[in-house]
Amino acid sequence: QVQLVQSGAEVKKPGASVKVSCKVSGYTLTELSMHWVRQAPGKGLEWMGGFDPEDGETIYAQKFQGRVTMTEDTSTDTAYMELSSLRSEDTAVYYCATCYAPSCAFDIWGQGTMVTVSS
């Protein structure tokens, strides 16, 4: 059974970067398509991007292009999401989630990581 365990809460200043990790257990990361979804306080879900197994590439939502980088360390089965040039609007809970192909239903979710951007 797949489990995703994320790193702890972060507080960052505007303009800084944050890197959130997502450790996989029960499967290897290479068997999964990992994506990232965020949720601002009191708001809905927002997809940020993820790994497309058809192309072998990582795809990003246009809104985050140039500011987000998603990487994977297959030696430790850990996925990472780094968001740069943080602003207050980036304050949110960030989730990693596995994408069940071909519809990309997110079947397994991490517990979430709260990122607060404040001066």
Partner 1 sequence: QSVLTQPPSVSAAPGQKVTISCSGSSSNIGNNYVSWYQQLPGTAPKLLIYDNNKRPSGIPDRFSGSKSGTSATLGITGLQTGDEADYYCGTWDSSLSAGGDVVFGGGTKLTVL
Contact call for residue 27 and partner 1 (CB under 8 A): no
Burial class (CB in 10 A: 0-12, 13-18, 19+), 81: buried
Contact call for residue 1 and partner 1 (CB under 8 A): no
Q: Evaluate whether 58 touches 41 at the Cβ level (below 8 Å).
A: no
- 62 φ/ψ sector (left φ>0, alpha ψ -120 to 50, else beta): alpha
Contact call for residue 102 and partner 1 (CB under 8 A): yes
Contact call for residue 112 and partner 1 (CB under 8 A): yes
Contact call for residue 35 and partner 1 (CB under 8 A): yes
CB of 119 to partner 1, least distance (A): 27
CB of 112 to partner 1, least distance (A): 5
**Residue from the set 59, 76, 85, 118 that interacts with partner 1 by CB under 8 A:** 59
CB of 100 to partner 1, least distance (A): 6
Contact call for residue 31 and partner 1 (CB under 8 A): no
CB of 56 to partner 1, least distance (A): 12
14 vs 17: CA distance, rounded Å: 9
Contacts of 71 (CB under 8 A, 6+ apart): 79, 80, 82
